[in-house]
Amino acid sequence: MGTSWELTSLLRDKILRYAAYKQTSVSLRQMVQFGPNPSPGSIFLASQFIVEELPIRLALKVKDLENAPLGLSEMPSTIKVKNWYAQSFQELTDLPKPEVSPSLRKLLYSTTKQVSANYEDKNGVTPVSSANIDDIPVAKDPISTNDATNPALNNFYSDDGIVVRHHHHEANEHQTISPLYSHSSSSSSRSRSESPTFGMTYYTSCPINIVWPKEVYDYNKLVCDALLKIKKRHDATVATMAQGVQEWKHEHSTVYVNSQIQTFLDRFYMSRIGIRMLIGQHIALNMAQASPTKQRINSFLNGANANGSKHKANYVGVICTDCNVGEIAEDAIETAKYICEEYYGLFEAPEIQLIAPSNDINFMYVPGHLIHMLFETLKNSLRATIEFHTPRLKQQMIEEDPKLKKEDIDLNDLKFPPIKVIISEGAEDIAIKISDEGGGIARSEVPLIWTYLYTTVSETPILDQEYNQTSFKAPMAGFGYGLPISRLYAQYFGGDLKLISMEGYGTDVYLHLNKLSSSSEPLP
C-alpha cells in the first residue's frame, strides 16, 4: 500500500471524470455463463471489460467518500479508505492495453458474429460485420475475490460480493446476449464517448477446446494479479470505515449514527458488495480457466471421474449453481460455536439445533455470503443466550445449594437452552429462521440494531494502524456491523433479513433468500 502514495490533483481530476460515466450492470446469468471451466478467450474479453468498468465504480467510491455528509469525509480513517480506492483506480487505469492481432481477433469474435446474427433476426439489431469488427472495444476490467480450490468457502468472514435484485430499467436487454453495439441511433455514439463500457458485456462466448496464444494467458494473469492486489488492499475497508464512524461519533460527542450517515453507509456498503462480487468472481474464474495442459494433467492424475469433480462442476467462480442450504448452515453453526467457545472459554457452546424438513434444499447462490449472514446472526444468538441466562442459572444453582458462590460457578457447569435454525423452501424463496431464548430486545431498541456501530458491547475492538484482514480474528461482538451488513447481503440478492423480538424471552431472525435466475446488480 505504500505510505509515500498520494492523491494528486491530476489523478483526482481523472477520477472525477470517470465518476461521471454510467456503470454497466452485470447479471447473474452472465456470471454463470462462463461455466465451471471457462474459456481463456472469454476470460480475456471479460478482463478487458473489468479494466474499463471497475475504474468507473472505484471513481464513484472516491467521489462519494469526498462528499460524505456531516464531516465524515474529514475523518482520518475515511480519508485512508478514500485513498485506497483512488490508488486502486490508478493501478487499473495504468494497466497496459493488450495487443489483439488479426488472428486472435478472429478467434475471439468468431462465435460472437453468429450470436449477433441470431440476435439480429429476433430483435432487428444491426450486427457488427467483418468490415467494422475493429470498432469493437476490447473489454477491460479486473474483478474477483476468492481463492483457488473452493473460493466461496475459504474465508468464512469475508464480505465479498453479491448479485442483486433485478432492476429492469437499469440493464439493456441485449447486454446479456451479445457484446456488440447497436449503431442504429446517433445517441449511441454520444453514449459511447461518455462511458468506456457502453454496449459491452462481461460474458462473451468463445471456443474452449483450442490452443489460445500466450498473450491471452499473459493478459488474464496481469489483470488477475492486479485484482488480487486490489482485493487485499480493500479487505479492511468495512472495519476501517467503522473506525471512521467511531471517530465521527467522538468528534460530535454523539452515541448514535445520524440518519444521513446511516443512508450514506447503506449506499457505500451496497456498492462495495457489487465491486467485491465482480472482483471475487473474476479472480475465481481465472483460477478455473480451461487450460488444455492442465486438463490433461488433471485427467491423468485424477481420472475422468475423480472425487470432487462433481462438486467442482457445481461452481462457476464463487457462485454455486447447486448450493445445499443445510450443508452451508452446518458450516456456519460449527464456525459460530468455535468462536463462541474460544471467546467464553467454554468446552462446548450452547446447542444449535438444525431443523430442515428436507435435506435436499438446493439453489443457486454464493456460499461465502450465506455463511457470512448465518454466522453473524448465530453469533448474536449465542452471545445473547449466554449473557442472558448466566446470572439466572447461577442464581438457580445457589438457591439449590446456598453454600455456592457466584464466582465459584463455572460457565461449563451451566445448561443453556438450545438455539434453533429452521430451514423452509417455498415457491419464491428459501427462508431460514434463527430462534433463540436470549432475552430479546426492547421494542424501542429494535430500530437501532440496524444502525451502524450500535452495539451492546461496552468496548468496541480497536484496530491498529497495521490492521490486516488476513490476520484478523473475527470478534464475538463489538463492531455493531453484523446485522446491517448481513441485511445488505440479503437485499443485494433480492432477499431480506428481518427480526422479531420478545423482550424477556428471545429473538427470531428471518432470513429470506430469493431463488435467483437472472438478477442484475442494483446500480445507483
Q: What residues are labeled active site?
A: 372, 376, 379-380
CB 424 within 8 A of CB 513: no
Residue 140's DSSP bridge partners are 48
Retrieve residue 415's grid coordinates.
445448561
All three cell numbers of 157, joined, read 468472514
Beta bridge partners of 385: none
Q: In which residue are the cell numbers 489460445 written?
A: 212
Local structure of residue 444 (DSSP, 8 states): G
- Those residues with Cβ within 8 angstroms of residue 149's Cβ, 6 or more apart along the chain or in another chain: none
Cβ neighbours around 253 below 10 Å, total: 6
- What residue type is 400 in one-letter code? E
Is residue 311 within 8 A of residue 182, CB to CB? The reply is no
CA–CA gap between residue 461 and residue 75 (Å, rounded): 18
Q: Look-up: residue for cell 458485456?
A: 201
User: What are the C-alpha distances in Å from 452 to residues 266, 269, 502?
Assistant: 9, 11, 22
Contact between residue 148 and residue 224 where contact means Cβ atoms under 8 Å apart: no
Element (H, E) at 391: helix 367-400
Residues in the chain: 524
Q: 451 by DSSP, 3-state: which?
A: coil
**CA–CA separation, 214 and 286 (whole Å):** 15
